[in-house]
Structure 1
Amino acid sequence: MQFTSLLRRNEIGANSYLIEMDGQRIVLDSGMHPKEEGLDSLPAHHELPADSIDSIFVSHSHLDHSGSLPVLMRDQPGADVFMTPATAKLIDALLHNSVNVMESKRTELGITDYPFYTHRELDDHEKRWRTFNYERPFQIGDNVRASFHDAGHILGSSGIMLETPEKRVFYTGDVQFEDQTLIPGADLPEEDIDTLIIETTRGASPRCESYSREVEEQKFAESINDCLKRGGSVLVPVFAMGKTQEVLTMINRFKQEGLIPDAPVYIGGLSTKMTIIFDEFADSTPRNQPGFRILKDMEVKTGGRRRKRAPIVYQPGGIYALSSGMMTEKTVSNNFARGFISNPKNSLLFVGYADPDSPAGHIRAGKQGDLIDLDPAQDPIQFNCPMEVFDFSGHATRDDLLSYILRVKPKKTILVHGDLPATEWFAQQLKEKLPECETIIPLPGKPYQL
């Protein structure tokens, strides 16, 4: 039984891992690197012999875990593909959108490798997807049993249990143990796990000891209210999948509790399609507000429901939750910000991670009065409006992850999905607090015996 990282480098990127157990060759996740383009964005799947994989599991739908799935499926035509029903719906929408993005990049950037796959290929590949709900064990091969467990990260996210009569291996995927506004915290197994493969995203980022989600939401509501009272509008750059739906659910509660006025709420980009899918699973997946349907129960303005939606136009007194969360060039939030951030009455409120090299990262590192390059192809914009950053991360804190490892007490812990300072923090903690556990920071391409 062995584990091999299929990443090209030790980092958060094109996540993918190979497990070999009891004659089965299993790939966990098949991501695409968010900072790379062309073939460099893919995992090292070219090192896998063609048609040598028996099963592919996808923990959740974010592109760094699912974006290269069609490429891997093409190379591994005999592999069955497993995920939860909600993940399947989200991946289908996300990968079709990725085809459009890659086609644009082929034209605009001259990346001839794009698109990696077509809409027709996606439709054909989907026929090989098999879906299972949480905690419904199923067989792969003669002696390997698998099951999904709620990871609390986004809709449909799962940890993956693989077990034989002798061994149990658990992969957390991306996990959040705390309740979010819409999505409840993780419900992961803790008993009899021999090898634990766990994400370490926030390992280098301790959270303030005084933090509380309730207080953070209260501050968020106060910032929205203050902006609307002074006659401005609020821009919340959000990721289309997960963060959009969390923010909308928060805003709905703020209105119901009278914390903010009944201001119009606008969403744009891919967010509408993703919100429709979230609403589709309102009654069949764990929710903190069972049955709540965002588009039905809130008056959200999407610019119309027709295929070609009207562009979103600035109006004072509005709340704009627009993708992308990092305000990447040519996205709805980036385009909208050009006429927005120069107005001191408005507020720009960030609710998630932003890469330092992204337009959102540039704004967060700057100060009012700075000239900001939202798009290198256009003139910079003066940044005059107030800006705040709130912690509503979908990833567990390092303390919660460490506490989980200590409860599980695995024989081996494999630290993944983190940069080197993050994984090294966990390795040092486990050396002190769980010395009997073998801790591994896997090198790409190197097999480790389990």
Structure 2
Amino acid sequence: MRFRNLTRRREIGANSYLLETGDNRVVMDSGMHPKGVGFDALPDFGPLPHDSADAILITHAHHDHIGSLPVLQRKQPHTPVLMTEVTGELSSAMLHNSVNVMTKQREEDSVTEYPLFTHRELDQIRANWIYRDIDRSFTIPDTELEATMFDAGHILGSTGILIREGSNTLFYTGDVNFENQTICRAADFPTSGIDVLIIETTRGDHARPEGYSRKGEKERLAALIRDTHEAGGALLIPVFALGKTQEVMLMLHELHQEDLIPEMPLYIGGLSTKITVLYDHYASRSRRSYPGFRLLEDVDMLVPRKNPRKRQEIVSSPRTLYALSSGMMTEHTASNQFAWKFLDNPRNAIAFVGYTDPESPGYKIRNAKEGDMIKLARDLPAVPLRARVESFDLSAHATREQIADYAEKVKPKKMLLVHGEESAQQWFMRRFAETLPETELIRPDVHQPIDLW
């Protein structure tokens, strides 16, 4: 079996990987680079001839893993796409939103190739989507390969994928979390009988502080909320619409139930609401904490949207919580536009709970000093930062130590490091050179053919 990296650059971005064995070709994930524009944001599908793939396997519904799926399916019109049911339904919602975003970018930024696909095309390609349950083996269509999906603990429906060819096995982690979140339970991955491990390296460039605990981070967040409430201000929590919004909603509910924060209205955005509807739909039919708990009905603090189908401007009010996407405060998103009228009030606070890319507005804010002028978008004047800014480690990705511990239990013959920046992958290379001296370590270059067995 041979592996090829279809990403355009070796970093976090448009995840997509090709497996070739005999006449069979299987693609794992089909993402879009969050910082790329137009065709440059896509994987490079050059090594994959038209209509030649036997299957496409999807690990989860985040944009960097599904964003180019309709483009890939256009090139592979007869190829089945296999994933969990939850991932399929979430992917549909996220990709329809992507059409809206690209259409707006075409109008505002003159990106002529946008949208790369249409709403009608999305409805049509779903005919080739096939749902599979976790922990149940299945044969990949038109091949002699067997696959099993295992819960990855990252977001609802996320999986790692085990592929078996005869006596040889490969395991692709996708994005993984090895500790319980608020909704998602820790990953449940196999640790034995794996010859080749393809592993994410997202958080390899930094260690978690000594003495860290998730409980401690939640209590720090509660303290910030109490301080903001007492000052008569509002709190903005930039979140990703898929995954982080729902985790934060339930966390705030827990804190209120434990009397750690006062009663405060909670607002979320439109896409977040659509995704939360799906989280609630699978409340009793997925591997999660709080089975049966429905966020839109059971979170008492939540303020329902008056008209879910109509875009509404969210205006800041004192002693109110706002969990708005995007988590990086990307230009023209709800959190970005909201912050423009929010940052200059010293009573207000911003709580970052996830990753922010160094080029994003969110990164600028969380690393700025009080009084710095912040440019949030090209069409908005800079505003002074006077709000309090705090950061919390509530990542949905495993720490580098947790990932390393897992790999050291597996002890694969070969290990491929993907989904990580240069500095992150170098940390893993140094550690595994000491702890797994008999494992062949590989950092796949773009299109580099790698024989797995």
TM-score band w.r.t. shorter chain: over 0.9
Cα separation, 1, equivalents of 2:368 and 2:279: 35
Q: Decide which moves more: 138-147 or 381-390.
A: 138-147
Report the CA distance between 1:78 and its aligned residue: 2.4
Alignment of 1:263-302 (within 5 A): 263-299=264-300, 300-302=302-304
Alignment of 1:173-212 (within 5 A): 173-212=174-213
Report SS of the residue matched to 2:318.
Answer: coil
Report SS of the residue matched to 1:162.
Answer: strand
Report the CA distance between 1:142 and its aligned residue: 4.4
Q: Which residue of 2 aligns with 1:242?
A: 243
Q: Which residue of 2 aligns with 1:2?
A: 2
Cα separation, 2, equivalents of 1:12 and 1:144: 28
Cα displacement string for residues 179-213 of structure 1 (whole angstroms, at most 9, x for unaligned residues): 11111110001110011100000111111121111
Report the CA distance between 1:302 and its aligned residue: 4.1
Report the CA distance between 1:116 and its aligned residue: 0.8
Cα separation, 2, equivalents of 1:357 and 1:164: 42
Instruction: Answer yes or no: is the 8 Å Cα contact 1:173–1:199 preserved in 2.
Output: yes
Among 334, 347, 350, the alignment partner of 2:349 is 347
Instruction: Answer yes or no: is the 8 Å Cα contact 2:270–2:311 preserved in 1.
Output: no
Cα separation, 2, equivalents of 1:46 and 1:441: 20
Report SS of the residue matched to 1:283.
Answer: coil
Cα separation, 2, equivalents of 1:186 and 1:260: 30
Instruction: Answer yes or no: is the 8 Å Cα contact 1:303–1:311 preserved in 2.
Output: no
> Which amino acid is the alignment partner of residue 64 of structure 1?
D
Q: Which residue of 1 aligns with 2:399?
A: 397
Instruction: Answer yes or no: is the 8 Å Cα contact 2:328–2:361 preserved in 1.
Output: yes
> Which amino acid is the alignment partner of residue 366 of structure 2?
R
Alignment of 1:335-414 (within 5 A): 335-414=337-416
Cα displacement string for residues 333-368 of structure 1 (whole angstroms, at most 9, x for unaligned residues): 111112211111111111111112111111112111
Cα separation, 2, equivalents of 1:181 and 1:326: 21
Cα separation, 2, equivalents of 1:310 and 1:95: 21
> Which amino acid is the alignment partner of residue 100 of structure 1?
N
Q: Which residue of 1 aligns with 2:420?
A: 418
Q: Which residue of 1 aligns with 2:157?
A: 156
Report SS of the residue matched to 2:46.
Answer: helix
Instruction: Answer yes or no: is the 8 Å Cα contact 1:268–1:302 preserved in 2.
Output: no
Cα separation, 2, equivalents of 1:42 and 1:269: 26
Cα separation, 1, equivalents of 2:192 and 2:12: 28
Cα separation, 1, equivalents of 2:303 and 2:291: 23
Which TM-score applies when normalising by structure 1?
Answer: 0.98
Q: In the alignment, does 2:449 pair up with 1:444?
A: no
Q: Which residue of 1 aligns with 2:310?
A: 308
Q: Residues 350 and 400 from structure 1, CA distance in 2 versus in 1: closer, same or farther, beyond 3 angstroms? A: same
Which TM-score applies when normalising by structure 2?
Answer: 0.97
Instruction: Answer yes or no: is the 8 Å Cα contact 1:3–1:447 preserved in 2.
Output: yes
Alignment of 1:92-171 (within 5 A): 92-140=92-140, 141-171=142-172
Q: Decide which moves more: 386-395 or 428-437.
A: 428-437
Report SS of the residue matched to 1:35.
Answer: coil
Cα separation, 1, equivalents of 2:304 and 2:392: 24
Alignment of 1:45-56 (within 5 A): 45-56=45-56
Cα separation, 2, equivalents of 1:412 and 1:30: 23
Cα separation, 1, equivalents of 2:363 and 2:105: 22
RMSD: 1.1
Cα separation, 2, equivalents of 1:309 and 1:302: 13
Cα separation, 1, equivalents of 2:399 and 2:170: 22
Identity of aligned residues (%): 50
Instruction: Answer yes or no: is the 8 Å Cα contact 1:346–1:386 preserved in 2.
Output: yes
> Which amino acid is the alignment partner of residue 357 of structure 1?
E
Please list every run of 5 or more consecutive structure 2 residues that lacks an aligned counterpart in the other structure: none
Cα separation, 2, equivalents of 1:241 and 1:358: 18
Report the CA distance between 1:269 and its aligned residue: 3.4
Cα separation, 2, equivalents of 1:142 and 1:445: 23
Structure 1 outlier segments of 4+, above 2 Å: 21-24
Q: Give the aligned length.
A: 450
Report the CA distance between 1:229 and its aligned residue: 1.4
Cα displacement string for residues 149-200 of structure 1 (whole angstroms, at most 9, x for unaligned residues): 0000001100011112221111000000011111111000111001110000
Cα displacement string for residues 80-128 of structure 1 (whole angstroms, at most 9, x for unaligned residues): 1001111001100000000011111111111111111110000000110
Q: Which residue of 2 aligns with 1:39?
A: 39
Q: Decide which moves more: 15-24 or 329-338.
A: 15-24
Q: In the alignment, does 2:299 pair up with 1:321?
A: no
Q: In the alignment, does 2:19 pair up with 1:15?
A: no
> Which amino acid is the alignment partner of residue 343 of structure 2?
I
Report SS of the residue matched to 1:45.
Answer: coil
Instruction: Answer yes or no: is the 8 Å Cα contact 1:269–1:332 preserved in 2.
Output: no
Instruction: Answer yes or no: is the 8 Å Cα contact 2:24–2:143 preserved in 1.
Output: no
Q: Which residue of 2 aligns with 1:69?
A: 69
Cα separation, 2, equivalents of 1:107 and 1:339: 25
Report the CA distance between 1:304 and its aligned residue: 1.6
Instruction: Answer yes or no: is the 8 Å Cα contact 1:169–1:194 preserved in 2.
Output: yes
Q: Residues 205 and 180 from structure 1, CA distance in 2 versus in 1: closer, same or farther, beyond 3 angstroms? A: same
Instruction: Answer yes or no: is the 8 Å Cα contact 2:78–2:128 preserved in 1.
Output: no
Instruction: Answer yes or no: is the 8 Å Cα contact 1:6–1:16 preserved in 2.
Output: yes
> Which amino acid is the alignment partner of residue 77 of structure 1?
P
Report the CA distance between 1:264 and its aligned residue: 0.6
Instruction: Answer yes or no: is the 8 Å Cα contact 1:27–1:53 preserved in 2.
Output: yes
